[in-house]
A and B are shown apart, each in its own frame.
Chain A
Amino acid sequence: MNHSQPQSEDSTPRQGGEHLPNGPAGAAILSAGAGCAVLGILAVAGDASKAVAKLLTFYLPTGPLSGVSSLAILVWLVTWFILAKRWRAKTVALAKINATAFLLLALGILLTFPPFADFLQGK
Chain B
Amino acid sequence: MEITLRALITLIHGMLFGAFFLMAVYGLVVELRHSAFVEQPAKLTPQGYARERLYLIGVAAMGWAAVLTGAYLIYPWYRAVPPAGVTDLALYPRFLLKSSATTAGWHDLGMEWKEHIAWIAPIAMTMVAYVITKYRQSMREHPQIRTAVLAFALVALGAAGVAGFFGAMLNKYAPINGGSTIHLKGKSQ
* A contact residues vs B (CB 8 Å cutoff): 10, 12-15, 20, 22, 24-25, 28-29, 31-32, 35-36, 39-40, 43, 59, 61-63, 65-66, 68-69, 72-73, 76, 94-95, 98, 101-102, 105, 108-109, 112-115
Query: Known contacts A69-B67, A73-B123; is A28 also within 8 Å of B131 by CB?
Result: yes
In the complex, which residues of chain A have a beta carbon less than 8 angstroms from the beta carbon of B76?
61-62
Q: Of B26-34, B50-58, B113-121, B181-189, which stretch is located at the interface? A: B113-121
Looking at A20, A25, A39, A61, the one whose CB has the most chain B CB atoms below 10 A away is A25
Per the CB 8 Å criterion, the residue count for chain B at the interface is 35
In the complex, which residues of chain A have a beta carbon less than 8 angstroms from the beta carbon of B116?
39-40, 43, 65, 68, 112
A32 touches B119 (CB 8 A): no
B144 touches A95 (CB 8 A): yes
In the complex, which residues of chain A have a beta carbon less than 8 angstroms from the beta carbon of B112?
114
What CA separation (Å) do A65 and B113 show in the bound complex? 12
Q: Closest 8 CB pairs between A and B?
A: A61-B76, A32-B127, A112-B116, A12-B141, A94-B144, A114-B112, A12-B138, A112-B117
- B134 contacts the other chain (CB 8 A): yes
B120 touches A98 (CB 8 A): no
In the complex, which residues of chain A have a beta carbon less than 8 angstroms from the beta carbon of B155?
105, 109
A25 touches B135 (CB 8 A): yes
A10 touches B144 (CB 8 A): yes
Shortest C-beta distance, B138 to chain A (Å), equals 5
In the complex, which residues of chain B have a beta carbon less than 8 angstroms from the beta carbon of A73?
119, 123
- B79 contacts the other chain (CB 8 A): yes
In the complex, which residues of chain B have a beta carbon less than 8 angstroms from the beta carbon of A76?
123
B67 touches A101 (CB 8 A): no
B152 touches A32 (CB 8 A): yes
In the complex, which residues of chain B have a beta carbon less than 8 angstroms from the beta carbon of A25?
131, 134-135, 142, 145, 148
- B108 contacts the other chain (CB 8 A): yes
In the complex, which residues of chain B have a beta carbon less than 8 angstroms from the beta carbon of A10?
141-142, 144
Query: Known contacts A14-B137, A105-B152, A114-B108; is A69 also within 8 Å of B117 by CB?
Result: no
* B contact residues vs A (CB 8 Å cutoff): 67, 71-72, 75-76, 79, 108-109, 112-113, 115-117, 119-120, 123-124, 126-127, 130-131, 134-135, 137-138, 141-142, 144-145, 147-148, 151-152, 155, 159
Cross-interface CB contact of A112 among B79, B113, B130, B142, cutoff 8 Å:
B113
B119 touches A29 (CB 8 A): no
A12 touches B120 (CB 8 A): no
In the complex, which residues of chain B have a beta carbon less than 8 angstroms from the beta carbon of A59?
72
In the complex, which residues of chain B have a beta carbon less than 8 angstroms from the beta carbon of A102?
148, 151
Given A12-B138, A62-B72; 13 other pairs, CB 8 A cutoff: A12-B141, A14-B138, A20-B134, A20-B138, A29-B152, A36-B123, A36-B124, A39-B120, A61-B75, A68-B116, A73-B123, A98-B151, A109-B159
